[in-house]
């Protein structure tokens, strides 16, 4: 199961889709609510810790080639490493359930108003489970095409929206000081930038280890660019106040433009593909990491049980979009940041120390 390989370019497309993911739904509103017209600066600041996290994961991948975080955490720390691996597995599962819940909220709010939530969840999980069964090689090739087409669709929507933009909404710059931007940047670091920690479960699939860092970096920066443009579009097509009150700011901003509703299917498809890409990474990372934790020879028997758990957890996780926004903006940063950065930093420091002691002997 660990003999599948993907190219660095495939890794970039997966990272791009993963970073944008459900952040395209939730991040613009939350970021604008805090930083107002300066919200577009927050993702740029969040890129800095994101690049540091990629550097940590890349360094660990080079020290322990061909292994996921679940495997090399035990090599580095022994049985405490197994506990850290279990923590990462829980985080990956929790994140996947949150993403699935976000997809449910979006689909039921925008498209399938009267469809029972369970039906939407079962369809989404079944679609993703089939992809996980096919393996990362097949899905990476598929997502390369899908993400490329979705980026084209995003560009069309963005260019059209800009025809009706009021750029004065971006002014004055830094009128409320730097603190709101920093606050938003911290939240943006937790969601979605720091969630790249999940890639520690699968970056060993990238064929050339020396290309892991550039591949993830390119995907992260491209994803941040998409989100910066989304935030900026929401501000200039609506305004900071209206944008911060909308549930799905990117959708509301597009619908407010003359003729914008004609492009709504493109925007909805864009959001769905990005979100499915993120859920696939979480789903695949969880079952693969679980198989590593239990030292199983194959992850595929875990696909259906994991899918059932995702559905059950997503059903009872939140009851509405307001709860999702509140959790993402207030609880998630406090809960997620120590895991996202603390676990890889601890493993890296101990690994460096162990290697230094070995070299002295």
Q: 235 with 40: CB under 8 angstroms?
A: yes
Residue-level pLDDT at 1: 53
Query: For residues 121 and 233, what is the distance between their CA atoms, to the nearest angstrom?
Result: 30
Mapped onto helix, strand or coil, the DSSP state of residue 164 is coil
Query: For residues 352 and 358, what is the distance between their CA atoms, to the nearest angstrom?
Result: 10
In a domain, 189, yes or no: yes
In a domain, 357, yes or no: no
In a domain, 71, yes or no: yes
10 Å Cβ neighbour count for 318? 20
State phi, psi for 206 to the nearest 5 degrees.
Answer: -70, 125
Q: 69 with 344: CB under 8 angstroms?
A: yes
Which domain range does residue 23 map to?
A: 8-342
Query: For residues 159 and 257, what is the distance between their CA atoms, to the nearest angstrom?
Result: 12
Q: 264 with 255: CB under 8 angstroms?
A: yes
In a domain, 106, yes or no: yes
pLDDT in tens, 210-223: 999 999 999 999 99
Query: For residues 32 and 279, what is the distance between their CA atoms, to the nearest angstrom?
Result: 25
Query: For residues 121 and 314, what is the distance between their CA atoms, to the nearest angstrom?
Result: 8
Q: Total domain count for the chain?
A: 1
CATH number where 300 lies: 1.20.1740.10
Residues of the chain with pLDDT under 50: none
In a domain, 353, yes or no: no
DSSP code at position 312: H
């Amino acid at each position: 199961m660990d003999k599948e390989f993907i190219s660095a370019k495939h890794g970039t497309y997966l990272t791009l889709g993963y970073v944008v993911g459900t952040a395209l739904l939730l991040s613009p509103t939350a970021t604008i609510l805090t930083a107002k017209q300066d919200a577009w600066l927050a993702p740029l600041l969040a890129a800095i810790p994101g690049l540091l996290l990629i550097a940590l994961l890349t360094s660990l991948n080079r020290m322990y080639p061909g292994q996921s975080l679940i495997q090399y955490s035990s090599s580095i720390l022994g049985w405490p490493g197994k506990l850290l691996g279990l923590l990462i597995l829980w985080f990956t599962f929790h994140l996947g359930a949150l993403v699935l819940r976000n997809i449910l909220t979006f689909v039921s709010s925008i498209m399938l108003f009267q469809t029972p939530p369970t039906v939407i969840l079962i369809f989404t999980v079944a679609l993703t489970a089939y992809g996980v069964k096919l393996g990362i090689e097949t899905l990476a090739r598929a997502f390369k095409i899908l993400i490329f087409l979705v980026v084209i669709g995003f560009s069309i929507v963005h260019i059209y929206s800009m025809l009706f933009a009021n750029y004065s909404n971006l002014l004055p710059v830094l009128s409320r000081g730097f603190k709101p931007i920093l606050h938003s940047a911290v939240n943006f670091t937790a969601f979605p930038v720091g969630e790249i920690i999940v890639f520690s479960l699968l970056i060993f699939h990238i064929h050339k280890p020396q290309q892991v860092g550039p591949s993830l970096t390119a995907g992260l920066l491209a994803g941040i660019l998409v989100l910066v443009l989304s935030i900026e579009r929401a501000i200039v097509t609506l305004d900071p106040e209206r944008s911060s009150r909308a549930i799905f700011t990117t959708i509301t901003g597009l619908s407010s433009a003359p003729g914008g509703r004609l492009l709504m299917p493109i925007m909805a498809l864009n959001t769905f593909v990005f979100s499915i890409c993120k859920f696939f990474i979480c789903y695949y990372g969880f079952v693969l990491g679980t198989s590593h934790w239990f030292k199983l020879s194959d992850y595929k028997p875990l696909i259906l049980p994991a899918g059932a758990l995702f559905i059950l957890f997503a059903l009872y996780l939140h009851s509405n979009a307001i709860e999702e926004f509140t959790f993402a903006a207030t609880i998630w940063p406090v809960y997620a940041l120590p895991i996202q950065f603390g676990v890889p930093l601890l493993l890296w420091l101990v690994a460096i120390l162990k290697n230094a002691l070995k070299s002295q002997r």
